Structure 1
Amino acid sequence: MTETPNRPAATPEPEPDFTPEQYARSRERKRATAPLRYGSTATGIAVVCVFGFTPLGSGLSRAAGDVAGGGWAATATLGALALRIVLWLAALPFSLWSERINHAWGLSTRSRSLYWLDSLRGFLLLGLLMAGASTGFFAITRHAPHTWPLIVGAAGVALVFVFSFLMPVVIEPMFNKFRPLEAGQLRERLFAVARDSGVQVRDVLVSDASKRTTADNAYVSGFGRTRRIVLWDTTIEHCSPDEIASVAAHELGHAARRDVVTGTALSACGLAASVAVLAWALGLGALHDAAHVTGAADPRALALCLAVSSLLGGVLGPLYNLYSRRIERRADQFALDLTRDPAAMVSTWRRLGVRNVADLEPHPARVALFFTHPPVPARIEHAREWERSRTANKGGNSGRLREVE
């Protein structure tokens, strides 16, 4: 009688990271938000192009300037505010649509009054910035007609760095309240993670994000003495200490690798490149004729400047996204090397993927166009790759990922 040889037991399939219901919910939200995303993008581009490459933009600036006498300063300042109103009105239906969808999906907790207050503050802030930038730009082009690209480029680079320093201490408090994380094990642990990372942080703060959203997030903001770890209060409520430490380590990785400084420098380089392209475009007679402007010194050319800059931003956007995803993956690697806790990272991305209703099956084109971070499944696989590499380096003795509840 022939004996059947013993066969090794089949290796059990690993548990899926997400349930079929969670995948279905992700796909359903993607279908619900796709018209909003693409419609908003297309409308924004169409509005700036129509106003920039036709007489509509120059006519709007001229009419706004005429209210205050029609001088170049009035045209530059009030024309910017008029264009800001047009852009805000064009984006408002999509903003309201987005808020309604987020409420329907349980992602927004923002009251109607807070929504309009946020919208008003954002409108005023960007309006003032646009008016100041427009007035400064045309003052330079009028008084330095041959060297203005160098002066504007240098001034723009300086302003990028100034705003990076001011953001955590001036802009952020306009929209959120911050309190120090209360003394205890979590605060001590986060400071310990910061010390291990080699990054000095001034404080660990908690943002009142729950008045707007149920999503989770954390970040490190500021430079030098203004640098702090910021946790959303939703993150503290929903995530375990191991998961919070993992997220904090990721954010500290950006500071340790000087990603914020590098990103600011790249933004400054991008702005300088935009000025160069803008100088070329403002020298084209065909665009002058189309927009009914006379050149770079004409304050009615603001809409044309916005249109050229927006199109350039659309072209460079996927390149920036590619760079950003690589930086985010590097920060994940830093967090894994620092905490040596891949299970916490896997648990973190699972939790965020479900709670934030992330796209769990993104198309590569969508990733290229819109994703500044790697997709959630890719981040989970990265943590597992780290663990497998560590296991191989130790001869297979490191064991499996422990589970984080």
Structure 2
Amino acid sequence: MTALQTAASARPAHAADSSPARPALRFLTAGSVDDGKSTLIGRLLFDSRAILADQLDTLQRRAAGEPIDLSLLTDGLEAEREQGITIDVAYRYFATPARKFIIADAPGHEQYTRNMVTAAAGSDAAVVLVDITKLDLSQHPVRLLPQTRRHTLLAQLLRVPSIVFAVNKLDAIADHGPAFEAVAQALQAFADEAGVRHAGIVPVSALRGDNVAVPMDAAWYGGPTLLELLEGLPSTAEADGAQAQATAAEAFSLPVQYVAREGDGTGDNPRVFWGRVAQGAVQVGDTVQVFPSGEQAVVAGLRRAGATVAEVQAGWSAGVVLDRQLDISRGDWLGTPSALAPVQRFSATLAWLDGEPATPGRKYWVRHGHRWVQARLVEVARRLDIHTLQPAPAQTLAVNEIGEVVFELQQPLPLAPYAQQRVGGALIVVDPATHRTSGALLVRAAA
């Protein structure tokens, strides 16, 4: 099957039937500098009529008769407008008759990779833009840009459920069909080698609007528009709900974010332990265990969105009422008895985001769920070469490098492999001296 046939087969047959009541899809745009991410978002906003009249009037006056620069819709910082680059993550909202969307415009420059990681951590999908004008189409196979590979790998490591490749700026080259075919083959080869399961490879021209929201007039492509593809993708809430139903016996876990007393906060009103269910499901009458104390209690009540319910499941924000008073505070966990095992030394994949290298022996703060713990980087086992996708020897990790490391915690945490659970297996690393977010840790296993 050719890349064109693969792209064509990706058309979501159910997209047109999507219910407006479906959860909003949160997606980010990623890729290298000047790949057209901000323009693509501007095009989606423009074509979906999500631009206010005064915004459109301002853009038209600034254009002075020239084509409107749609990228200005997302360049919120003055420095972004002056330099013509995206620095901070900009969020925009729009809706179609089939779906609501929340877009994160992530920076493409290596210097701002941490911003991209922040956007990816809460996204349901990632649209990785590939600027076809930056690629040497005479090469066979076509060589992809490092940032395309890096952002795709980061999205995969962060378990963004759906990854879409959008090959942009087709209007700037001749022989659109063969050119897209060559780039799509390179993307497919990279995805196969890296183990990336993408949701589709689509050709677009964000500047002209070809195949973004309106189908392109090309005999060589019969697949979906980018918007059609996005309309059919599942949100994390839908995926978590489906997983919870499919794995009803999976152990329950919930990181406690907030403790409140019902009613006016006085008297005998019960305490409610609020958080977002990380895994599994729990019902009234189930026995749960508190981490780290190890105390057990029975679930006496469950709250969700101001109502009393009989059960809550993965992905839901909920409150838990226990049948007896226990010392529980923010940062503790509730879970199925014996499911929250303490871990003090673990191996992990580390995406390093700090200008100061990750050096064995250094101490950092790590955050897991809602708890802060001191930790020490014990070992950098290897780093990932993003060009060959092979592990390479390393003693440290430089900014934007990805590697396998071993950490040791001052206090045990209920860690889980990230491949099994996004919440229990993720930590952020903070430099205690500068307070910068230095890295993202994805647990592999207890060391």
| Bigger radius of gyration among the two | 1
Q: Which has the higher helix share?
A: 1
TM-score, normalisation: structure 1:
0.23
TM-score, normalisation: structure 2:
0.22
Q: Which has the higher strand share?
A: 2
